[in-house]
Amino acid sequence: MNSKNNDEDIMESIRVPTGIPGFDEICEGGLLRNRTYLLSGTSGAGKTIFGLQYLYNGITKYGENAIYIATEERPEQVRETVKAFGWDFEALEEEGKLAILDACSTKIGVPSHEKYVDVRPFDMRSMMDQVIAMQEDIDAKRALVDGTTSIGFYLNDPAKIRIELLKLSTTLEILGLTSLMTCEVIDQNAVSRFGVESFVTEGTIMMYSTRAESLRVRSIEMYKMRGSNHSQSIHPYDITAAGIVVHPHEEIYTA
Ligand SMILES: Nc1ncnc2c1ncn2[C@@H]1O[C@H](COP(=O)(O)OP(=O)(O)OP(=O)(O)O)[C@@H](O)[C@H]1O
Ligand SMILES: [Mg+2]
């Protein structure tokens, strides 16, 4: 093998393709390995679907196991939702390729029969202990924390939120995971809910659902990506029967 091919192999291993059609093209082939990215957007923008598609593609296209930390939705519901896209999460869990942490049921006071349950609502230490145990079980390469906003409300202090999210993102990186952490925004012009979340992550992906007369237009942007070049444009995307499809050669000017 000549040196050019060797270089290409190294570059490939540094990048973690999301496998989401069109998205990797706007960020030079994918996310940077072992880094944590914020996935920010308004309610219904498509953050959860994007994050779950990233995990599903990791397992089915790239042989990378995945951990999903569900703080906002019960795992039972998520398994049902993703069936619409043809994704069979139960089968992947049975094969030991996907592990889901139920960090939602305890918080809302309903019983959970999940294999992995966070028993103390929003105790960062106990959540990280669970993630470490899950990682020992399945040796994952990708993770999704969906999401950070309820953690933020529990801590209720931007300084604490900043340090706790930094601990979480750094722990995920040390565990060898390339991760997405979702973040709700209520103001289309804001990058995050508490104003600190994007500072503790290596990059920020923004998802928009903007009103254009009688339509809603979905668009996505790589807002920040430490250590990499990326598209500076806002690109439209659709949610189809097969999940999210980004249009990297089209631009939106009015997000
Ligand atoms: N099977 C489907 N086909 C097409 N569009 C869908 C399908 N399922 C969901 N959607 C669209 O995706 C939206 C929800 O996406 P998602 O749950 O990823 O949003 P979110 O950004 O995580 O929202 P939240 O902040 O409320 O959690 C729905 O409002 C709907 O418009
Ligand atoms: Mg969501």
* Domains of the chain, first to last: 35-228 (3.40.50.300)
For the CA of 184, the closest atom of ligand 1 is 25
Residue 235: the pLDDT is 97
Residue 7: the pLDDT is 52
Residue 255 has pLDDT above 50, yes or no: no
Task: For ligand 1, atom 30, name the residue with the nearest CA.
Answer: 44
What's the mean pLDDT in 11-30?
A: 91
Residue 254: the pLDDT is 53
Residue 120: the pLDDT is 80
Q: 44 CB under 6 A from ligand 1? A: yes
Residue 122: the pLDDT is 75
Q: 184 CB under 6 A from ligand 1? A: yes
Task: For ligand 1, atom 6, name the residue with the nearest CA.
Answer: 239
Residue 252: the pLDDT is 82
Q: 49 CB under 6 A from ligand 1? A: yes
What's the mean pLDDT in 141-153?
A: 94
Residue 188: the pLDDT is 80
Query: Whole-angstrom Cα distance, residue 91 to residue 33?
Result: 26
Query: Whole-angstrom Cα distance, residue 139 to residue 175?
Result: 9
- Look at strands 203-212 and 215-225 and give their pairing: antiparallel
Q: 48 CB under 6 A from ligand 1? A: yes
Residue 87: the pLDDT is 98
State if pTM tops 0.85. yes
Residue 189: the pLDDT is 86
Got the DSSP string for the chain?
Answer: --HHHHHHHHHHHHEE----TTTGGGGTTSEETT-EEEEEE-TTSSHHHHHHHHHHHHHHHH---EEEEESSS-HHHHHHHHHTTT--HHHHHHTTSEEEEE-SHHHHT-----SEE--STT-HHHHHHHHHHHHHHH--SEEEEE-SHHHHHHH--HHHHHHHHHHHHHHHHHTT-EEEEEEE-SSTT-SSSSS-GGGGSSEEEEEEEEEETTEEEEEEEEEEETTS----SBEEEEEETTEEEE-TT--BS--
Residue 9: the pLDDT is 54
Say which residues have a Cβ less than 8 Å from residue 150's Cβ, sequence separation at least 6: 71, 72, 107, 122
Residue 211 has pLDDT above 90, yes or no: no
Q: 96 CB under 6 A from ligand 1? A: no
CA of 73 to the centre of ligand 2 (A): 8
Residue 11: the pLDDT is 47
Q: 239 CB under 6 A from ligand 1? A: yes
More confident residue, 41 or 187: 41
Q: 46 CB under 6 A from ligand 1? A: yes
Residue 1: the pLDDT is 42
CA of 49 to the centre of ligand 1 (A): 6
Residue 58: the pLDDT is 98
Residue 60 has pLDDT above 90, yes or no: yes
